[in-house]
Each structure stands twice: as structure tokens, then as C-alpha cells.
């Protein structure tokens, strides 16, 4: 996107609703997987100059586990799931059905694989709900994991986008386990090419007739 | 009180004497620093992409964003301040490939970190500025602070702590 004024309030609301639909489905999937109640926050829709994204999203250089997938199909996008570093052991305990905080202090291969699996399930269910709602095809790649600072991870994702656009659209939704407040974030970052398709699909889904 | 001058993505700044330059969240981006030991002048650019000719939209005056336009712009501005390029020494940090698995799966663009490093080094050669040290590529993100009085570049990573080059 090169001109943020292209996105009016109607589409901002619609993007927020996409976050809701995706994260709701992801929360349901995770809830079934671990047998706990999973909540979601109201999604944040951000349209920011690419250079400003890391400081707007997290200026504190928090260390996170980032699970990153690319999405191909009708809406090329990047999807990123992040968890705070401090939560990773408890989170993997939960995934592996072990007592939380009782086990090892090491993030071994088994736990890393569990995290990637979690990323796959969350992003897969997120994208599935979106694809169904918009009646479009969205095909994710395999997940890649990095444990690093949030700004570095965002920096890496945005560099590619910065070749094609000056502004980034980010839809950020928090999902959390209600009992222990383990929290993750799902970011959907559409590529520059994807916006037109998204807007047309939203119009169609919302029954808006495009008179233009 | 020494100032810490922040250098954002696609930006570049100058610092003098007791002041330092900081930039954080270098993933595949590259920090290029120049230092004049005699005048205690430091400059740092946070470069995002190797080649300004590959972008698809009309570029504004954001020369520090690209390896092929950052150095020449810095040198021209510093020259106006009376600093000769012949006294500069350079350091290069960053250019990580943080999501290696994706890189292998989809190829090409994700190795932009390495391409950034190569492009910056090429520019240094072109302007015959000596590269005195570097900490590049790998898989870790970096944050850096560059001190104008000593020319020390302090690198911080999430997993391996701090080191100076």
C-alpha cells in the first residue's frame, strides 16, 4: 500500500472482523487441543509506514518465539505467531499434556517441534476461517521458528514488503489461555498485491454492490 | 550527558564526541558505520535493501534505505561538514537470515540479509573506504550502539549477550 487514505473506516472495521473470525477459529482449535478455555482480544488494525512498524508494535526489544509462515493463493500474505520467551516452557508443557512448570528448563527439540506444531494449527485454523468467509484460496507454507527480539523478527518480515510498498497493514489479535494468562499474538500482514483482492472479497461477503 | 541518537529503519544520523548512535532490531537489515578518529565523528545508516532499482513504487528521498544509495549520500553530506572521506573507516553489522527453514523452502528473497551485506561491501570498495571489522549474516537479530569518541561498535543479541567490535 502506498496511500493509507485508500483504506476507509469501513474497511478498517472489515479487517478487524477478519482478525476476529480468524482468531476465533484458532482459539477453538487450540481449546480442543489442550482442553482449556482460550480467549481472544479485539483485533488491532494498524496501517503504519514500514520503517515505523517495529517501534509501534514493540519498542522494548522483548524476546519472543516467532513462528512465521508465508501465505500463497488469492491473498499473498505473511502470518506470524509470537509467544513471550518467558512463557515458552509453560506453553509447551500445556501442549505436551505435562504439569506446567514442573519439568525441564530447556527448550529441547521436542518442545521446539511442539511450538511449530502449535504455529501450524493456529495459523491453519486462522486462514481456514478467512478463506471460507472470503471464499478465497489461502495456502500456507511450512512454519519457520526464530527465538529473537520482536523488532528483529518484524524487521526481517517487513524488508521484503518494503520493496513493494511504503505502508504495512497489520491485523494483530491476541489469544490467551484464561487460567494462567499464557498469551500469544497472531499477526496477518497482507502483501502489497493482496489489498485489492481482499477489499473486493469483503465487498462480496458483505453484500456491498460496487457501483464504481 | 552524552546523547544516544536513535537511527530508525531506512535512516542515517551523525554523532560527535561523547554521543553515540543506536539502532535496534537489525534482522536482515544492515548497519553501516563510518568513523573519523581524528575529528571523533561517527555516522550510521540502517539499510534495508540492496538495490534501489528493484523497488516497484516511486522512491522518495530515503537514500539510507538502500545499499547502493546510502554511502554516497552519507559521504556527500559529511563532505559538506568538512569531513574528508579519506579518514573514514567502516564497520558493517547485520544481514541475518533468521528464518532459515523458510529460506530453503522458498528460496530467493529471504536471503536478503546476505545480499545486503554484499551490496554494502561493494559500495565501500567503490569509494575505497577500509572495512575494519564486521559481524554479519548468521541467524540472530542484533541491536547496536556506536560510540563517536572511541569508534567502538557494541552489538547485542537476544541469545549471546554483548560484544564489541
> Which CATH number fits the domain that encloses residue A43?
3.40.1550.10
What is the DSSP secondary-structure string of B12-31?
A: EEEEETT-EEEEEEESS-EE
pLDDT over 90 at B11, yes or no: yes
Q: In this structure, what C-alpha cell is assigned to residue B65?
A: 534505505
Sequential pLDDT tens for chain A (212 residues): 667 776 778 888 889 999 999 999 999 999 998 888 999 999 999 999 988 898 888 877 888 999 999 999 999 999 999 998 888 888 888 888 887 766 666 778 888 888 888 999 999 999 999 999 999 999 998 888 899 999 999 998 998 888 888 889 999 999 998 888 888 999 999 988 888 888 888 888 877 555 44
Interface A–B counts its CB contacts (< 8 A) at 117
Question: Listing from the earlier edge strand, what are the strands of the sheet with B153-157?
Answer: B4-6, B20-26, B142-147, B153-157, B161-164
Distance CA A88, CA A106 (A): 10
Contact B158 A52 (CB under 8 A): no
Number of domains within chain A: 1
Domain presence at residue A192 = yes
Q: Quick count: other Cβ atoms within 10 Å of Cβ B52?
A: 15
Domain residues for the domain of A94 are 4-205
Contact B25 A154 (CB under 8 A): yes
Of B10, B98, B143, the CB nearest to A153: B98
How do residues B112-141 score in pLDDT, each as one tens digit?
Answer: 899 999 999 999 999 999 999 999 998 899
Chain A residues whose CB is inside 8 A of the B106 CB are: 70, 141
Q: How far is B128 from chain A (nearest CA, A)?
A: 28
pLDDT at B96: 92
Distance CA A143, CA B95 (A): 21
Domain presence at residue A212 = no
How do residues B45-82 score in pLDDT, each as one tens digit?
Answer: 999 999 888 777 665 668 899 999 999 999 999 999 88
**A158, β-bridge pairs:** none
Residues A32-36: contacts with CB under 8 Å, at least 24 apart = A33/A95, A33/A121, A34/A94, A34/A95, A34/A97, A34/A177, A36/A94, A36/A177, A36/A178, A36/A179
Q: How many residues does chain A have?
A: 212
Q: In this structure, what C-alpha cell is assigned to residue A179?
A: 487460567
Domain presence at residue A211 = no
Domain presence at residue A105 = yes
Distance CA A23, CA A38 (A): 10
Whether ipTM tops 0.95, in short, is: no
Which of A41, A42, A40, A130 lies closest to A79 in space, CA to CA? A130
CATH number at residue B25: 3.30.1330.200
Number of domains within chain B: 1
Domain presence at residue A127 = yes
Q: What would the 3-class secondary structure string for A12-68 be? A: HHHHHHHHHHHHHHHHHHHHHHHCCCEEECCCEEEEEEHHHHHHHHCCCCCEEEEEE
Contact A159 B28 (CB under 8 A): yes
Of chain A residues 62-91, which have a CB less than 8 A from chain B? Answer: 63, 68-70
pTM: 0.87
Domain presence at residue A168 = yes
Contact B48 A63 (CB under 8 A): no
pLDDT over 50 at B105, yes or no: no
Domain presence at residue A210 = no
pLDDT at B142: 95
| Closest B-chain CA to A150 | B25
Domain presence at residue A71 = yes
| Closest B-chain CA to A67 | B99
Establish whether B137 is a catalytic residue: no
Does A159 reach chain B within 8 Å, measured CB to CB?
A: yes
SS3 B118: helix
Contact A164 B56 (CB under 8 A): yes
Domain residues for the domain of B77 are 4-164
Contact A54 B11 (CB under 8 A): no
pLDDT at A208: 59
pLDDT at B149: 96
Chain A residues whose CB is inside 8 A of the B9 CB are: 50-52, 54, 155, 158
DSSP A165: -
Amino acid at each position: 500500500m502506498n496511500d493509507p487514505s485508500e483504506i476507509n473506516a469501513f474497511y478498517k472495521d472489515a479487517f478487524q472482523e477478519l482478525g476476529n473470525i480468524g482468531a476465533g477459529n484458532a482459539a477453538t482449535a487450540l481449546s480442543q487441543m489442550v482442553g482449556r478455555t482460550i480467549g481472544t482480544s479485539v483485533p488491532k488494525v494498524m496501517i503504519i509506514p514500514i520503517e515505523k512498524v517495529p517501534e509501534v508494535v514493540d519498542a522494548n526489544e522483548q524476546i519472543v518465539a516467532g513462528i512465521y509462515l508465508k501465505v500463497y493463493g488469492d491473498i499473498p500474505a505473511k502470518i506470524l505467531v509470537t509467544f513471550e520467551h518467558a512463557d515458552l516452557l509453560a506453553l509447551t508443557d500445556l501442549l505436551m499434556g505435562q504439569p506446567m512448570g514442573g519439568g525441564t528448563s530447556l527448550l529441547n527439540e521436542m518442545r521446539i517441534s511442539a511450538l511449530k506444531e502449535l504455529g501450524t494449527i493456529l495459523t491453519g485454523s486462522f486462514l481456514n476461517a478467512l478463506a471460507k468467509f472470503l471464499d478465497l484460496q489461502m495456502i500456507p507454507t511450512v512454519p519457520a521458528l526464530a527465538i529473537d527480539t520482536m523488532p528483529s523478527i518484524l524487521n526481517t518480515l517487513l524488508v521484503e514488503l518494503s520493496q513493494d510498498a511504503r505502508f504495512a497493514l497489520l491485523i494483530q489479535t491476541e489469544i490467551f489461555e484464561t487460567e494462567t494468562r499464557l498469551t500469544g499474538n497472531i499477526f496477518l500482514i497482507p502483501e502489497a498485491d493482496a489489498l485489492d483482492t481482499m477489499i473486493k472479497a469483503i465487498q462480496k461477503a458483505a453484500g456491498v454492490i460496487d457501483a464504481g | 550527558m552524552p546523547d544516544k541518537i536513535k537511527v530508525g529503519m531506512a535512516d542515517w544520523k551523525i554523532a560527535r564526541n561523547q554521543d553515540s548512535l543506536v539502532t535496534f532490531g537489525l534482522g536482515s537489515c544492515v548497519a553501516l558505520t563510518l568513523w573519523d578518529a581524528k575529528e571523533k565523528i561517527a555516522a550510521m545508516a540502517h539499510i534495508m535493501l540492496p538495490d534501489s532499482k528493484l523497488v516497484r513504487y516511486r522512491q522518495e528521498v530515503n537514500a539510507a534505505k538502500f545499499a547502493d544509495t546510502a554511502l554516497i549520500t552519507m559521504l556527500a553530506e559529511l563532505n559538506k561538514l568538512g569531513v574528508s572521506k579519506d579518514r573514514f573507516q567502516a564497520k558493517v553489522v547485520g544481514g541475518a537470515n533468521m528464518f532459515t527453514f523458510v529460506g530453503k523452502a522458498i528460496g530467493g528473497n529471504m536471503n536478503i540479509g546476505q545480499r545486503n551485506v554484499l551490496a554494502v561491501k561493494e559500495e565501500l570498495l567503490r569509494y575505497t573506504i577500509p572495512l575494519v571489522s564486521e559481524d554479519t549474516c548468521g541467524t540472530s537479530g542484533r541491536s547496536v550502539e556506536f560510540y563517536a569518541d572511541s569508534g567502538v561498535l557494541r552489538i547485542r543479541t537476544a541469545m549471546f549477550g554483548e560484544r564489541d567490535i
